[in-house]
């Protein structure tokens, strides 16, 4: 069974930075794509950034130029470097990993940006 685990969330001041990590385990396959989403209370889940197996990335307009998604050296690991954080970035950040037709989600990590 594939497990997806996020880490790296926390409390940071406006303008600060955080680096989130996501690791998918329990499979011998390489992911087709992995991505970061976020969901604040009362809001729909929204895409933040995704990366494919060959390194093609995509970003929400709201984070372009501030966030960077990258693959790690370990298999099925990705990172999200978040710079110039704003209070509007406060949310639970969730990672997903796609292997073939299946998508697996982590439990999420809280990011709070204080003004």
* 68 bridge partner residues: 81
3-state helix, strand, coil in the chain (%, to 5): 5, 55, 40
What confidence tens digit (pLDDT) does each residue in 42-101 have?
A: 999 999 999 999 999 999 999 999 999 999 878 899 999 999 999 999 999 999 999 999
> What gap in Å lies between CA 11 and CA 25, rounded to an integer?
27
What confidence tens digit (pLDDT) does each residue in 2-17 have?
A: 999 999 999 999 999 9
What confidence tens digit (pLDDT) does each residue in 103-113 have?
A: 999 999 999 99
Specify the pLDDT at position 98.
96
- Rounded to the nearest 5 degrees, what angle is found at the Cα of 81, between the Cα atoms of 85 and 84? 20
Specify the pLDDT at position 74.
85
CB atoms within 10 A of CB 97: 25
Specify the pLDDT at position 72.
83
């Amino acid at each position: 069974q594939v497990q997806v685990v996020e880490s790296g969330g926390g409390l940071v001041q406006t303008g600060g930075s955080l680096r989130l990590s996501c690791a998918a385990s329990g499979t011998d396959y390489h992911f087709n794509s992995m991505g970061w989403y976020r969901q604040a209370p009362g809001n729909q889940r929204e895409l933040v950034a995704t990366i494919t197996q060959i390194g093609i990335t995509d970003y929400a307009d709201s984070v372009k130029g501030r966030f960077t998604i990258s693959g790690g050296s370990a298999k099925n690991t990705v990172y999200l470097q978040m710079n110039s954080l704003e209070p509007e970035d406060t949310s639970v950040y969730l990672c997903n990993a796609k292997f073939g037709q299946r998508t697996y989600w982590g439990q999420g990590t809280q990011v709070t940006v204080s003004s």
